[in-house]
Amino acid sequence: MRHARVERWSRGHSVIHRRHAAAKILATVVLLVCIATLTEHTLPTGAVYLVILVISAVAARLPVLAVLSGASAVLPFALCFALVSLLAGDPMQATMLVIRGYLSALAVLLLISTTAMPDLIAGLEWLRAPAFLLQVMQFLYRYLIVLIGEADAMRQASLSRAGSIRTLQCRQAAAAAGVLFVRSWARAQAIHRAMVSRGFEGRIPAFRRMEFKFADVVFVSLATVAITGLRAAL
Partner 1 sequence: MHIPDGFLSVPVWATMDAIALPAIAWIARRAQREFDHHRIPLMGVMGAFVFAAQMINFPVGNGTSGHLVGGALLSFTLGPAAASIVMTAILATQALVFQDGGLLALGANVFNMAIAGVVAGYLPYALLRGRKAGVFLGGMFSLVASAALALAELLWSGVPMPPAILAVSIGLFVVSAIVEGAITLAIVRALEAIQPGFLRRPQAVRGRATLALVTAAVALAGLGVLIASPRPDGIQKLTRETGITSHVVSLLASPLADYRLHVSSAPFLAKSLAGLIGLLIVYFVCLGIRRVLTASRPAMEQEGA
Residue numbers 77-116 binding partner 1 by CB under 8 A: 77-78, 81, 84-85, 87-90, 93, 96-97, 99-105, 108-109, 111-112
- Least spacing, CB of residue 191 vs partner 1, in Å: 5
- Least spacing, CB of residue 68 vs partner 1, in Å: 13
Interacting positions 142-181 with partner 1 (CB under 8 A): 142-144, 146-148, 150-152, 155, 165-166, 168-171, 173-181
Q: Does 5 bind partner 1 (CB under 8 A)?
A: no
- Least spacing, CB of residue 52 vs partner 1, in Å: 16
Q: Which is nearer to partner 1, 163 or 178 (CB)?
A: 178
Residues in the chain: 234
Interacting positions 114-143 with partner 1 (CB under 8 A): 117, 120, 127-128, 130-133, 135-143
Q: Which is nearer to partner 1, 145 or 215 (CB)?
A: 145
Nearest Cα to Cα of residue 35 among 99, 111, 112: 99
Interacting positions 40-59 with partner 1 (CB under 8 A): 41-42
Q: Does 184 bind partner 1 (CB under 8 A)?
A: yes
**16, 24 Cβ separation under 8 angstroms:** yes
- Least spacing, CB of residue 27 vs partner 1, in Å: 12
The one among 44, 51, 163, 192 contacting partner 1 by CB under 8 A = 192
| Span of 15-23, 52-60, 61-69, 187-195 interacting with partner 1 by CB under 8 A | 187-195
Sign of the Cα torsion 7, 9, 12, 16 reads negative
Q: Which is nearer to partner 1, 160 or 169 (CB)?
A: 169
The one among 29, 50, 68, 116 contacting partner 1 by CB under 8 A = 29
The one among 54, 58, 191, 226 contacting partner 1 by CB under 8 A = 191
Q: Which is nearer to partner 1, 51 or 133 (CB)?
A: 133
Q: Which is nearer to partner 1, 201 or 211 (CB)?
A: 201
* All residues at 6 or more sequence positions from 219 whose CB lies less than 8 Å from its CB, including other chains: 19, 23, 24, 27
Distance (Å, rounded) from C-alpha 81 to C-alpha 87? 10
